[in-house]
Amino acid sequence: MAGNGKIVVGVDGSDASVDAVRWALEEARKRGAEVHVVTAWHTDPPPVEGPPPMVGTPYRARESALAEGQAHQNRVMEAVRGATEGVAMQLHMVDQWPPRALVHISAGADLLVLGRHGHSWLAERLLGSVTAYCVRHATCPVVITPARQTAKAREHHATEHHVVEAPATPGPLY
Q: What is the mean pLDDT of residues 144-167?
A: 65
Q: Do the domain assignments include residue 30?
A: yes
- Average pLDDT score over residue span 69-85: 94
Quick one: which of 61, 62, 6, 59 has its CA closest to 37? 6
Average pLDDT over residues 115-124: 64
Residue 79, domain member (yes or no)? yes
Report the C-alpha gap between 89 and 1 in whole angstroms.
Answer: 20
Q: Examine residue 134 and state whether it is found in any structural domain, yes or no.
A: yes
The mean per-residue pLDDT over the stretch 115-143 comes to 77
39 within 8 A of 9, measured Cβ to Cβ:
no
What are the pLDDT digits (tens) for 18-46?
999 999 999 999 999 999 999 998 876 65
Section 166-173 average pLDDT: 62
Arithmetic mean of pLDDT, 124-135: 73
For residues 130-147, average pLDDT = 91
Determine contact, residues 18/147, Cβ cutoff 8 Å: no
Is 97 within the bounds of a domain? yes
17/114 Cα distance (integer angstroms): 7
Q: How many domains does the chain have?
A: 1
Q: Percentage of the chain surpassing pLDDT 90?
A: 53
CA distances to 89, 131, 166, 168, 174 from 171, rounded to whole Å, are 61, 42, 10, 9, 9
Residue 165 lies in a domain: no
For residue 53, give the CATH number of its domain: 3.40.50.620
pLDDT for 60 beyond 90: no
Any domain includes 171: no
Asked whether residue 47 is domain-assigned, the answer is yes
Are β-strands 89-95 and 111-115 bridged in parallel, bridged antiparallel, or unpaired? unpaired
User: What is the model's pLDDT at position 46?
Assistant: 56
- pLDDT score for 109: 96
In a domain, 1, yes or no: no
Domain of 54 in residue numbering reads as 6-159
Mean pLDDT highest for which of 50-54, 94-98, 156-160? Answer: 94-98
The predicted model gives 104-126 an average pLDDT of 78
